[in-house]
Every structure is written in structure tokens, then in C-alpha cells.
Amino acid sequence: IAPSKASFWLQALRKEKSRDAARSRRGKENFEFYELAKMLPLPGAITSQLDKASIIRLTISYLKMRDFANQGDPPWNLRMEGPPPNTSVKAIGAQRRRSPSAVASEIFEPHLGSHILQSLDGFVFALNKEGRFLYISETVSIYLGLSQVELTGSSVFDYIHPGDHVEMAEQLGMKLPPGRGMSLSQGAVNEDGASSASSSSHSETPEPVESSSPSLLAPDNTLERSFFVRMKSTLTKRGVHIKSSGYKVIHVTGRLRIRMALTHSRSVPNQIMGMVVVAHALPPPTINEVRIDCQMFVTRVNMDLKIVYCENR
């Protein structure tokens, strides 16, 4: 009996140690994810609510965005002005003698980006060559009702109308699977519009495939892009026709970003890294309400421009 009791207590002790080790491992893992989330360029109120998968997705997108900024032409890395900071007496004296314009620049420049975004009647995003959002401004929630955290790292093809996948792929220089382009082009001219897209959005997203060779841009092609796509929207407005609900027409204007080349020969094609654009949401095509002033009246004419109705004003 004694050996059986000893084995029982030994087994219980091993289970307890295993649970403690697992608890300690989970605690260390949660702490590392917490520290990683704090390093993301997002407000603390947002990073504290992220799950582990979102933290990994946003971290990967941030690292890719850094490469997108530094390796593109022209590079976006911050330029250091003057010598590196030090603690010498001369440097301290120079800091005290800074001009008012330098102080004002230091104060206002960190907030300049947010002011520019607020002044734009739209939102900004950057896509890599696979069509994934490397960055999208938080103002996307104003025009589409979607969150910045949700979109970052996701594929743009998950948020645009299936009939516009061909257009987006062509603008990015991507190739669709064989036979996919014809079916998507037919969907673009379907009379059901967005209502037909709502049923096909539940199916597999026909995302373009990347070829084994990097995306290249012919030397004679332009980098500027301007096109229209329909993007998903969770905003609902009164008076909007049911066929256009769920999608908004977005005017996309921007420029392809190419990888910085060692040689500037015109005969060598440029490698496409992605695209940086400004998106403007167009108003719905139907206007059901027009505000009329006291000095205005309503009249109706037929195709022969004969008045068939006129108010008594």
C-alpha cells in the first residue's frame, strides 16, 4: 500500500509542477506580447485591447512598412540634420540658442501628419506588391466605417467588389489565375451591382497570385495611378438605394513605389514594391432630398420641355 501511495503523491507532484511550468510559460509569453504591443506605433488604448494574432499581424506589417519606406525610391527614412546628439557643453549651449522657428518646427511637426489627414476629404493607404495594406490612416473609419487595426496587414481584395479585382490587380502589376479575369469582368457589369457581391463575398476571395519573378515595370510606363473601385462600407445612410448599400465608390489616385536601383538606366525595368494612394469616397448617385429656399419653386417638364407641373409659389 505504501508504494502505491508514494507513486500517487509523486504523480500528483509532477502534475502540479507541470501546471506551474505551463502557467509560468504563459505568463512570460503574455508579457512578451505585451511588450511587443507597446512598441507598435499605435495609442496605448488600442494596443491594450489587441489579441496575439493581431499583434503579430500588425508587427509584421510595421516591419514591412519600414522596408517599404527605406528601400523605395526615393527613400522615406528620416534625415539627421547636423551632428549626432551628445552631452558636451558646446552642444548644450547650441540647444539653448535655438531659433524660435526651430522650436516651433519641433513642436508642430509631430502633429503635422494628423492635421494633413484631417484636412483631406478621404484617407491614405499603402499597399505592398501582394496587395496587402502596409498602412492605412485612421480616417478610413469616417468614410467606410472600417477600423485601421482591422485593415492593416489584410488583403485589399477582401475589401473591394469582386468585379473590381481585375482593375486593382492590373494597377498593381499583378497577374490573376487563368480564367479568373473573365469571370470577374462579367461580375463587374452585372446589374445587381453590390447586391450580387454580397452573396459572392461569402465565397473564397479570388486573390491574384504573385509570379515567381518580381513585379517589373516597363521603362516607358508611368508610375501615376488613377482609377475607381468599390470598397466595402459598414456605414448606412438614409435614402441610399439598396443596390449600392454595402459598397462605396472610391476614387483612388496615387503612385507606384519602385525599389531603389543602383543604376538609373532607362532600359532596365523597375521593380514594383507597391502603391501609395489617396482615396476619396464619391457621394451616392441618388439624391432624394434637395433643400429648397423660400425663393425657389419646383417645376416638372416632359421630354419636349413642356411644363407639366408647377408649384403655386
Q: Is the pLDDT of residue 189 over 50?
A: no
Give the SS3 label for residue 25: helix
Q: What's the pLDDT at 61? A: 93
Query: Residue 297 in contact with residue 310, Cβ under 8 Å?
Result: yes
C-alpha cell at 166: 481585375
pLDDT the model gives residue 297: 86
The pTM score is 0.65
The yes-or-no verdict on residue 69 having pLDDT over 50 is yes
**Tens digits of per-residue pLDDT, 118-171?**
778 889 999 999 999 999 999 999 999 999 999 999 999 999 999 999 999 999
With 70 as the cut, is the pLDDT of residue 183 above it?
Answer: no
pLDDT confidence bin for 185, thresholds 50/70/90: very low
**Residue 312 pLDDT:** 84
Q: What are the boundaries of each domain within the chain?
A: 2-73, 124-281
Instruction: Please provide the DSSP assignment of 145-174 as one string.
Output: ---HHHHTTSBGGGSB-GGGHHHHHHHHT-
Quick check: 7 pLDDT over 50? yes
Say what the pLDDT of residue 200 is.
41
Domain covering 124-281, topology = Beta-Lactamase (3.30.450)
Query: Which amino acid, 228?
Result: F
* Maximum mean pLDDT: which of 83-87, 166-170, 190-194, 261-265: 166-170
- Tens-digit pLDDT profile for residues 236-280: 655 444 444 588 999 999 999 888 776 655 555 678 889 999 999
Confidence tier at 214 by pLDDT (50, 70, 90): low
In sequence order, which ranges of the chain are alpha helices (DSSP H)?
Answer: 2-38, 44-47, 52-71, 89-96, 100-108, 112-119, 140-143, 148-151, 165-172, 180-188, 194-200
